[in-house]
Amino acid sequence: MFCVPCSVPGPLPLELRAVIALPADGYPRDTFEAVLCQPPYNERDWGHDELQFDARWPGGLVPPRGESELAWVLHCLARTRPGGLAALLLPPTVASRRAGRRVRAELLRSGALRAVIALPAGAAPPYGVPLHLWVLRAPEPGDDFRQVLLLDAGAASSASTASTASSAASVGSAGATGAGASGVEGGRGKVDWPGLRRTVLAAWRGFDLAAREGRPVPAAPPVPATPPPSLPDLGAECARLSDLVDAGRHPEVLALAARLLPRAEAELGDAAPLVRTIRTIHARTLLHEGHPGLALPEYRRLAATADGGPDGPQGLDHRYRAARCLDHLGHGAEALAEYRALLAAHTARLESGLDTDPERSYDLRERIGLHLAAAGDPQNAWQWLLPLLLDRERRDGPHHPTVRRLRQSLSTLHPQHPTPWPPNRT
């Protein structure tokens, strides 16, 4: 965390505090005129249980465990002095997830949430996802303004010029919870930054002036009636998505998949094969590009809608990839629990004859053992890895790379008791 005094002219001194701000607030007694934040996304272990009675939650309204982004919203709002502004870059799903309804409703009821602005894909990392910019004003006495600016800045800035930019703003009542996602295909080099800046500032300045001075909120000028643009054929767009995947153009894959998913779901349903294919491409590309927090909910939805359910072959594969996302996010305990559950399911399928290849169960056993070792339980880790070494050596031979790797792991756990070479056969 860092802070700068905004009232000092000229070069500003900088104060930096290296803390994890949710569990260890770096400024517990300070408030600021402005707070900027792009929090980590989809964090599970953000301190939900430890922060049940934290003073940052308004009226004791604790953000749900799966809504870490809303915990950051409330944290930033708590560090903003009355009348000051907070701005956060958030995934678009934060505006619509069911678990966060009570917190969003409180932000609207209190008048704290002032704007939700849908940015074009490419405006900020991850560049393939059209993020939302949330703007909040810390409530102050006498402020009874309860409206929200909803702006699709991606569509507005691509449509044009400064003279039309402000017309894209739409003002929501206190019942609104989010803005539409931009339909602009993303990429860092494709953002019209001057147009985007004009669009956002023109809409925000008129809206904020009305809020602060009690003026009528500016209405968007009427839009001339034009026939709706015809949408590209869904099948052709999916073929184009496949071509982008084959070409390795990952930012464009993310942008197109994010644009196609809502349309395909609306036309075909969440469990349709084509929808699942698009979602799988989206999830795998997110994970490949280093965004496990965004890939995790996609894999969980895929597991829930897979043919055969979460314990069928497809569901188990998606659950495995979701567990890998948890691993990448550093959620070791949650990942270990899921690996154990997956191992039980794979073992049951092997014993019943539904599966014949034990490779995935071998992989899970190794991951469980390594997690136990990392958690400070070498004895239990040894008991998991030694039988696995014996099974692997029987099947693959003593010189297989995986067998050598397991032997090295066991030697690291108990260097004073090296594993026998070759291991005893039973």
Q: What is the pLDDT of residues 127-176, one digit of tens each?
A: 878 899 999 999 888 888 889 999 998 775 555 433 333 333 333 333 33
Residue range(s) in the chain whose domain bears CATH number 3.40.50.150? 22-213
Percent of residues, the chain, with pLDDT higher than 90: 50
Q: How far apart, in whole angstroms, are the C-alpha atoms of residue 26 and residue 23?
A: 9
Residue of 263, 295, 32, 265 whose CA lies nearest to 138? 32
> Quick one: residue 174, left, alpha or beta (phi over 0 = left, psi -120 to 50 = alpha)?
alpha
Give φ, ψ of 128 to 5 degrees.
-85, 0
More confident of the two residues 217 and 138: 138
Model confidence band, residue 69 (pLDDT cutoffs 50, 70, 90): very high
The answer to whether the predicted template modeling score (pTM) of the entire model surpasses 0.75 is: no
Say if residue 188's pLDDT is above 70.
no
Q: How far apart, in whole angstroms, are the C-alpha atoms of residue 311 and residue 298?
A: 17
Opening angle at CA 321, ends 354 and 99, nearest 5: 110
Q: How far apart, in whole angstroms, are the C-alpha atoms of residue 275 and residue 286?
A: 16
Look up tokens 């990839």; give the residue: 321
Q: Which residues, at least 6 apart from 265, have a Cβ–Cβ distance to it below 8 Å?
A: 275
Q: How far apart, in whole angstroms, are the C-alpha atoms of residue 257 and residue 124?
A: 17
Give φ, ψ of 11 to 5 degrees.
-55, 135
Model confidence band, residue 178 (pLDDT cutoffs 50, 70, 90): very low
Q: Is the peptide bond before 415 cis (omega within 30 degrees of 0)?
A: no
Q: How far apart, in whole angstroms, are the C-alpha atoms of residue 4 and residue 45?
A: 29
CB distance 151 to 114 below 8 Å: no
Model confidence band, residue 227 (pLDDT cutoffs 50, 70, 90): low
User: For all residues of the chain together, what is the average pLDDT?
Assistant: 83
* Pick among 2.160.20.60, 1.10.599.10, 3.40.50.150, 2.60.40.420: CATH of 22-213: 3.40.50.150
Q: How far apart, in whole angstroms, are the C-alpha atoms of residue 125 and residue 131?
A: 9
Average pLDDT estimate for 372-381: 90
